[in-house]
Amino acid sequence: MEPQAPFTSSDDARTARPLRHLKSYELSAPLSLERGGELPEVTVAYETYGQLNAARDNAILICHALSGDSHVAAHDADDDPGWWDLVVGPGKAIDTDRYFVVCPNVLGGCRGTTGPNFPNPATGKPYGADFPLITVGDIVETQKQLVDHLGIDRLHAVIGGSLGGHMTLTWARRFPERVDNAVALATCARLNSQSLAFDVVGRNAILLDPNYRGGQYYQHDERPSVGLAIARMLGHITYLSREAMTDKFDPDRHSPRRLQTAFETHFSVGSYLAYQSDRFVERFDANSYLTLTMAMDLFDLGATTDAIAASLAPSTCRWLVLSFSSDWLFPPAESRAIVDALIALRRSVSYCEIQTKAGHDAFLLEDELDLYGEMIRAFLDVSPHDEIEHAAEPDSPSIFNHRVDYDSIVDLLEPDASVLDLGCGNGELLARLRARGHDPVQGIELSQRAVRSCLQRGLDVVRRDINDGLAPFADQQFDYVILSHTIQAMTNVQGLLRDMLRVGRRCIVSFPNIAFRKLREQLHHEGRAPRSSALTGPNWYETSSIRFLSLLDFEDYCRDQNIDIIDRVALDTEQNLRVDNDPNLNADVVVLVIAAH
């Protein structure tokens, strides 16, 4: 009796079978726990992929999530599938031909590392509910001791999603000297109260299952399978998006597959949850579920950007943070809070919210692999990128070839000046500036494909709508903030200009000039709205420009707002000339350097 085709999620691939390639390491001393107490003996079970190189600098630690394990990928063609085969393997985004990948089972779990199903040395019986309260910090401590044991001084990267993301964040702040790069996917600085509430309900279902017997059920035939299954069903719903569930279950909503199960199978979605949770209870231990969800729920780097920044202040690594638009368990705003904190700390950080229908589990699925996988690949590859050729990005919001005003902008910048480029597109200007010695250079861009291009150029880039302002950036954080050919598409012009003048010692603004002679004549003589490739695109009903301004209008604005105009370049891009005479009449593009008075 086969249920409907399963989701291609990691969960379906995992089994209760022993992990054939499992290695293990016994910690050399008792483990002191953050919340008090200790574990006298700790075994850390793990798997490795690829080879540690002679310099011992190619190791990547992968941290698995709540229901994952060390089996991140199949070791060979005959091996069981891993939960991240899509991403980890020879030639894949995390390339095991190049990197030495280590994935330990987490402390408190049930797949080989010490957990509640291990014997308590004090009694000889399984810990059960006597397993102490552990934290993400305790989990990371065991991972760090494993890394020591493996003779790895610095990790090229720590990578994890969800609860694995919590471990990644913890690595970076607890052991900054050991982490060069951190990739945190679909995670948060602490769970929101809704996500916490789902964990609470799941734990209550387990704790009040009569077969839970206060946690000492190992010697009984009956396990708290109902409670664990209820918790798992609930978790499963939160890992998927509403839209993904509709697509999956609505076509045969009233025609569930038949199933041998104690659970309701009235609806298609019900038989799926029954099947998945029946499989889950075969391979997972209820006490581990309690232990690990509590560790996750207690994880708390703070509720505000300031608090998160204080927590992450010790970190020194480069960061890549990825969130997924339909993830409602750890929503993108919670990743943005982490990114804002890292920006406030002036860390090297890139961020992308990836558009997807797949929900929290998106980082385990193939749908957006072309984006998140390639972003991880590019981020891990820290070799120089300046020579790489980049094709134009078709979904870039730009309607204009930037090169003409880029030349002027480059000429206006002092060498070494730090630069924030707003709406940086595929990073062409920033790559030129970095090659010229500017440092740091940071981009902000809305197109996720353009963000990927920036990462492929090795640039720091944050996906963000600049209409939301630049709040996380500090006053005078950059020598220059650049807004090139974007002001005409902004809804929040005044707020953005104010923020730019706060964040940059100077700002460079370029835009198409509506008072260019040819445009004046279109309106005056022909009676048609001005249009030019630079300003409006071909037609009034198609343009992405929502504002029209002349050089004179902008100068008026600067005077009214007490903004100094430091320098100005006027261009006739059609004739490729610099304009000196009456630029408001003769220039179609203008570039201004401004600063707060």
Q: Which stretch binds its own copies (CB under 8 A): 150-158, 181-189, 309-317, 542-550?
A: 542-550
Neighbours of 151 (CB within 10 A): 9
To the nearest whole angstrom, how small is the minimum distance from the Cβ of residue 137 to its own copies? Answer: 16
Q: Which string of x and - marks every residue 233-252 that binds its own copies (by CB under 8 A)?
A: xx--x--x-x--xx-xxx--
Buried b / exposed e over 109-136, threshold 16 CB at 10 Å, is bbbbbbbbbbebeeeeebbbbebbebbb
Among 5, 16, 29, 201, binds its own copies (CB under 8 A): 201
Stretch that binds its own copies, among 157-165, 213-221, 222-230, 445-453 (CB under 8 A): 222-230
Q: Mind spelling out the 3-state secondary structure of 191-203? A: CCHHHHHHHHHHH
CB of 190 to its own copies, least distance (A): 8
> Considering only residues 128-167, where is the footprint of its own copies by CB under 8 A?
none
Site for its own copies in 569-588 (CB under 8 A): 584-585
Residues with catalytic function = 162, 327, 360
Q: Which of 127, 152, 142 is nearest to 56 (CA)?
A: 152
Q: Smallest distance from the beta carbon of 563 to its own copies, in angstroms?
A: 12
User: Contact between 194 and its own copies (CB under 8 A)?
Assistant: yes
Taking the complex as a whole, the smallest distance from the CB of residue 514 to its own copies amounts, in Å, to: 5
Asked if 277 and 263 touch (Cβ cutoff 8 Å), the reply is yes
Q: State yes or no: residue 203 binds its own copies (CB under 8 A).
A: yes
Q: Is 151 left (phi over 0), alpha (psi -120 to 50) or beta?
A: left
Residue 204 interacts with its own copies (CB under 8 A)?
A: yes
Closest approach, Cβ 245 to its own copies, in A, equals 4
Rounded Cα gap, residues 589 and 238, in angstroms: 50
| One of 200, 259, 565, 595 touching its own copies (CB under 8 A) | 200
Tell me the closest approach of the beta carbon of residue 545 to its own copies, in angstroms. Answer: 8
To its own copies, the closest distance from the beta carbon of 87 in angstroms equals 27
Considering only residues 543 to 572 of the shown chain, the ones binding its own copies according to CB under 8 A are 543, 545-553, 556-557
Q: Given candidates 514, 558, 590, 592, which one binds its own copies under the rule CB under 8 A?
A: 514
Least distance CB 148 / its own copies (angstroms): 33
DSSP 8-state code for residue 214: G
Provide, rounded to whole angstroms, the least separation between the CB of residue 546 and its own copies. 4
Closest separation between CB of residue 594 and its own copies, Å?
14
Nearer to its own copies, 27 or 274 (CB): 274
226 binds its own copies per the rule CB under 8 A: yes
| Sites for its own copies among residues 467-496 (CB under 8 A) | 493-494
The piece of 44-52, 59-67, 281-289, 518-526 that touches its own copies (CB under 8 A) is: 518-526
- Where do the H-state alpha helices sit in 92-241? 136-149, 163-174, 193-207, 225-239
Using the minimum distance from each CB to its own copies, give the nearer residue, 87 or 558: 558
For residue 382, count other CB atoms closer than 10 A to its CB: 13
Minimal distance, residue 262 CB to its own copies, in Å: 6
* C-alpha span between 170 and 176 (Å, rounded): 9
- Reduced to 3 states, what is the DSSP secondary structure of residue 289? helix
Residues contacting its own copies: total by CB under 8 A: 77
Instruction: Please report, as a single letter, which amino acid is at residue 287.
Output: N
CA atoms lying within 13 Å on the CB side of residue 570: 17
> Is the separation of the CB atoms in 11 and 86 below 8 Å?
no
Whose Cβ is closer to its own copies: residue 17's or residue 525's?
525
C-beta atoms surrounding 251 within 10 Å: 10
Residues 31-50 close enough to bind its own copies by CB under 8 A: none
387-412 burial, b at 16+ Cβ within 10 Å, e below that, comes to eeebeebeebebbbebebbbebbeeb
Question: Site for its own copies (CB under 8 A): which residue of 529, 565, 595, 596?
Answer: 529
With beta carbons less than 8 A apart as the criterion, state whether 103 and 155 touch.
no
Comparison of 369 and 493: residue with beta carbon closer to its own copies:
493
Which tokens belong to 230? Answer: 């209820």
- Closer residue to its own copies, CB minimum distance, 59 or 483: 483
The number of residues in the chain equals 597
Of 16, 392, 471, 523, which one interacts with its own copies (CB under 8 A)?
A: 523
What are the CA-CA distances from residue 80 to residues 7, 85, 109, 390, 464 (Å)? 17, 10, 20, 38, 40
What is the per-residue binding string for its own copies in 246-285, x denoting contact by CB under 8 A?
Answer: x-xxx--xx-------xxx-xxxxx--xx-----------
Candidates 26-34, 115-123, 513-521, 563-571: pick the segment binding its own copies (CB under 8 A): 513-521
DSSP 84: T
If the CB atoms of residues 413 and 551 are measured against its own copies, the closer one turns out to be: 551
Give the x-and-dash track for 294-333 against its own copies (CB under 8 A).
Answer: x--x--x--x------------------------x--x--
Cα angle at 210 between 208 and 213, to 5 degrees?
A: 95
Stretch that binds its own copies, among 189-197, 376-384, 394-402, 438-446 (CB under 8 A): 189-197
527 binds its own copies (CB under 8 A): yes
Given the complex with its own copies, which of 110 and 558 has the nearer CB atom? 558
Both structure tokens of 172: 């970076």
Part of the chain binding its own copies (CB under 8 A), chosen from 55-63, 170-178, 205-213, 502-510? 205-213
| DSSP states of 516-562 | SHHHHHIIIII------TTTT-S-TTT--------HHHHHHHHHHTT
Q: Output 150 or 294, the one with its CB closest to its own copies.
A: 294
Decide if residue 192 touches its own copies (CB under 8 A). Answer: yes
User: Considering beta carbons, is residue 16 or 333 the nearer one to its own copies?
Assistant: 333
- The reply to whether 210 sits near its own copies by the rule CB under 8 A is yes
Residue 446 backbone phi and psi in degrees, to 5: -95, -30
Distances (CA, A) of 566 to 417, 518, 597: 16, 27, 10
526 makes contact with its own copies (CB under 8 A): yes
Q: What Rg, from alpha-carbon coordinates, does the chain have?
A: 28
- What distances in angstroms separate CA 230 from CA 38, 126, 256, 400, 557, one per listed residue? 31, 24, 19, 54, 61
